[in-house]
Structure 1
């Protein structure tokens, strides 16, 4: 490592955008330059990783949520020397599972024929903890974000996920420290999957986000921020 302070790159997930990080940007900006990548138009995870790497310079701390976590892994594959730390939230590492492609493509067909609004409610309901549904303001915020996506953008993201590389072998080769995080109520990318990932990485820590579902950056931003900043400070990656 050199003495240049790493930039912090924030990568959002499927049907999300930079609003994922609305509560994170201010606090993290006090630690270094923060960049929020736009993954709305992607069609390939490796290509998305290449584009993000090209848009940033120097060493990086990469924070990826859900699909963004998979892009972060591809960045670590392509530029291991530049990735000084990874924070992987509510994500996964394996390739396509049996029956997954058809389920994902059914959502694409619905979005193309009826608009993203046709899938927004059911999709969000599957991503959040039960208690989150009672927070009307948060639900409205997340729904508005989902509705900012277009059917074609969604289709491209789904194509990227269906064609995603399996990162099993990569995990054991990651040289930088990794913080894995997942909500205790995440049914899509459960905590035990993150424990499995952490066991495969040479230098990894697992953090459980109590009471949060798959949308932990929205559902528990303070807990997520505290865990990230504390971990970075303990590793000497931020002042």
Structure 2
């Protein structure tokens, strides 16, 4: 029945939607005219990030998706954060998670897989922190409380971006200001939450919604190998490496991120409409 419905929709448009074929809707404007409702697109930030992390994506997709940015409550448990987001999020959504936002995606999927239409993950991992990394997080928490959050995060910021941006003081200062907006308590609580997170390999293997994985080519915090592992676990996931980007591709390479997210968001759109 579902195949018939999709076939009818495609034939009614007079086009077979094969990626790269040149047939069918080729851009967001055409998709927008075909679909009667915008797809809810939920962006989940990473540590010490907020709406500003997704500024380029929010502007780009505003005309063709119903964009949401998840708040990150000051909890020291990722499961509680996931539950708080699910309590207020749309009934169903396409989720985009970066870094800690990726871990939260897994926690949300574990609780409510039926609410995910699609999933995009970047700068993240399925692995739990090893003892050394967990200790380093707790040390950063102590240092943030004794020396201040901005100084602590500024010292760590250089390894969060591509090496070519490591000395770009204007760009790094912009990131530090985002940390100021989020606040010290959120930084500390979220570091503790990540230090105690479980391994998400089994959750990733259970994902059935269309998924894409984006890795920054110069990401030191979560190297490309971490993303390839996720892509191998999630059935039929697509995988792309973003050149000249580190741990923050939405800010470092916004045009490429937008292109990959657009391909992911509108691929198989008829299948979603026919559910």
Aligned to 1:83: 116
Shift of 1:27: 1.6
Shift of 1:75: 1.2
Shift of 1:18: 1.2
Aligned to 2:22: none
Q: 1:55 to 1:117 in 2, by over 3 A?
A: same
Q: Map of 1:153-232 to 2, 5 A cutoff?
A: 153-232=186-265
The runs of at least 4 consecutive aligned structure 1 residues that moved more than 3 Å come to: 3-6, 133-137
Q: For 1:92 and 1:57, locate their aligned partners in 2 and report how far apart those are by CA, in whole Å.
A: 25
Q: 1:9 to 1:139 in 2, by over 3 A?
A: same
Q: Of residues 155, 161, 168 in structure 2, which corresponds to 1:128?
A: 161
Give the structure with higher Rg (CA). Answer: 2
Q: Does 1:73 align with 2:111?
A: no
Report the structure, 1 or 2, having the larger helix content: 2
Q: 1:159 to 1:95 in 2, by over 3 A?
A: same
- What is the root-mean-square deviation in Å for CA atoms of aligned residues? 2.0
TM-score of the two chains, using structure 1 as the length reference: 0.93
Q: For 1:208 and 1:30, locate their aligned partners in 2 and report how far apart those are by CA, in whole Å.
A: 26
Aligned to 2:94: 61
Aligned to 2:125: 92
Q: 1:59 to 1:6 in 2, by over 3 A?
A: farther
Instruction: Point out where structure 1 has 5 or more consecutive residues left out of the alignment.
Output: none
The answer to whether the 8 A contact 1:92-1:189 is kept is yes
TM-score of the two chains, using structure 2 as the length reference: 0.81
The answer to whether the 8 A contact 2:205-2:234 is kept is yes
The answer to whether the 8 A contact 1:17-1:40 is kept is no
Q: Of residues 9, 33, 36 in structure 1, which corresponds to 2:66?
A: 33
| 25-34 or 85-94: bigger deviation | 25-34
Shift of 1:68: 0.4
SS in 1 for 2:118: strand
Q: How many residues of Structure 1 are paired with residues of Structure 2 in the alignment?
A: 238
Instruction: Point out where structure 2 has 5 or more consecutive residues left out of the alignment.
Output: 3-35
The answer to whether the 8 A contact 1:94-1:168 is kept is yes
Q: Does 1:111 align with 2:144?
A: yes
